[in-house]
Structure 1
Amino acid sequence: MPIYNKLVRDRIPEVIARNGKKCSTRILDNEKYIEELKKKSFEELEEYVKAQTDEEAIEELADILEILHALAKVHGSTIRDVDEIRKSKAEKRGGFQDKVFLIEVED
C-alpha cells in the first residue's frame, strides 16, 4: 500500500472511494496546514518547470493558483487582495512582460 503523507485536494478521498479503494486521512491544524501548503507549492512549481507542453504548463499553473487562493485565505486575505498588491507593485516597479534580464549593476 503506497504511503503519501501529503496535502491533497479536498475531494481526492471521494475519488479514491469511487475507484473501490480505501484511504486514511486526517485534518491538519492551521500551522501544519500552512507548512503543507508551502510544500505543495514547491511540488506544483516543480511540476510546472517540468511541463513539456503549453497544456501541461497551464494545468500546473491552475494548481499553483489554487494553492495561492488557499494561502491567501489562511493569512486572512483573498486572492483579490493579493492581486491588488500585485498591481500596485507592477505600477511602481513594472511586471515581467518586457523580458528584462539584469546582468550587473556598477557601484
Structure 2
Amino acid sequence: MPVYNKLVRDRILEIIESDGLVYNARILESTELLKEVKAKMIEEAKEFQATETVNESVEELADVLELIHTALSTLGVTYEELDEVRLQKKVRRGGFEKAIYLVDVKDK
C-alpha cells in the first residue's frame, strides 16, 4: 500500500473511492495547511520544471496557482493584495520580461 503523507486536491478521496480503494486521510489544521501548501508548491514547481509541452506547462502552472489561492486564503490575504505587492516589487526591482540571465558579479 503506497504511503503519500501529502496534501491532495479536494476530490481525490472521491476518485480513490470510485476506484474501489480504501484510504486513510485527515483534515489539516490551518497551521499544518500552510506548511503542506509550501511543500506541495515545491513539488508542483519541480513538475513544472520537468514539463516539455505548453499544455503540460499550463497544467502545472494551474496547480501552482491553485496552491497560491489556498495559501492566500489561509493567510487571510486577497489575490488583489498579492497582486499589489507584485506590482510594487516590479516597480522597485523590475519584472522578468527582459529575460536577463546574470552570470556573475566582480568587484571593480
Q: What TM-score, normalized by structure 1, do the two folds share? A: 0.91
What is residue 88 of structure 1 aligned with on the other side? 88
CA distance in 2, matches of 1:105, 1:41: 34
Query: Which residue identity does 1:104 align to in structure 2?
Result: V
What is residue 72 of structure 2 aligned with on the other side? 72
Stretch of structure 1 that moved more, 10-19 or 39-48: 10-19
Q: What TM-score, normalized by structure 2, do the two folds share? A: 0.90
CA distance in 2, matches of 1:22, 1:74: 29
Is residue 3 of structure 2 the alignment partner of residue 11 of structure 1?
no
CA distance in 1, matches of 2:46, 2:92: 29
**Runs of at least 5 residues in structure 2 that lack an aligned partner in the other structure:** none
Query: Which residue identity does 2:72 align to in structure 1?
Result: A
**Runs of at least 5 residues in structure 1 that lack an aligned partner in the other structure:** none
How many residue pairs end up in the alignment? 107
Secondary structure of the residue that 1:99 maps to in structure 2? Answer: coil
Identity across the alignment (%): 41
What is residue 55 of structure 1 aligned with on the other side? 55
Stretch of structure 1 that moved more, 3-12 or 95-104: 95-104
| Runs (4+) off by over 3 Å | none
Higher RCO structure (Cα 8 Å, ≥6 apart): 2
Secondary structure of the residue that 1:52 maps to in structure 2? Answer: coil
CA distance in 2, matches of 1:53, 1:17: 31
What is residue 28 of structure 1 aligned with on the other side? 28
